[in-house]
Amino acid sequence: MINYNNYVYLRYVLLVNIIAALIPSMSVKGRANDPLLHSTWWTMDQHSAVLVVSLAAIFSSALAFLAERSGNRQWWIFVGCGIVAGDFPATFYLATASDSVYLPLTEMYVDGTVCGVVAGAVLTLLLRGRKRSAAA
């Protein structure tokens, strides 16, 4: 059963993962540099980073939440969840962008890994000391 405190912590985890994914995806700035500008399936007016950051944050928050719910609270699990959030934008663009688009992948992976390690440290401090609720 999820109570109010779990929702509060889930919002913090989501916010940390959004920041971890947003910083590397800022390497692709501007509508003219959008890797999905000429793709047929992304026809929205917004930059594709909206999609990438939200997918990264939701996926890595779900991983962190599942790890926390199952009792796995080792530091390396949360650092791994942060690195997944940080490296997700570069991996997504690598998989979906056309070959003619220039991507700063090295910069995105380095920034994503560094931001992911920092986010994992924050997630460890945030979630490691929590007590399991009596209803869980």
| The residue to which tokens 């930059």 are assigned | 47
Higher pLDDT, residue 70 or 132: 70
Which secondary structure element, helix H or strand E, spans residue 12, and what is its range?
A: helix 4-25
Q: What is the pLDDT of residue 16?
A: 93
Cα–Cα distance for residue pair 75/16, rounded to 1 Å: 15
pLDDT at residue 72, rounded to an integer: 80
Residue 16 and residue 123 in contact, taking contact as beta carbons nearer than 8 Å: yes
pLDDT above 60: residue 1: no
Mean pLDDT value across the chain: 84
- What tens digit of pLDDT does each residue of 32-43 get? 777 877 777 777
- How confident is the model over 81-88, as a mean pLDDT? 94
pLDDT single digits (tens) 29-81 = 777 777 877 777 777 777 788 889 999 999 999 998 888 888 887 889 889 99
* Spacing of C-alpha 4 from chain mean position: 23
Higher pLDDT, 42 or 104: 104
Residue 130 has pLDDT above 70, yes or no: no
The pTM of this model reads: 0.83
| pLDDT of res. 102 | 78
- To 5 degrees, how large is the angle CA 77–CA 78–CA 79? 90
Mean pLDDT of 81-100: 88
Q: What percent of the chain has pLDDT over 70?
A: 91
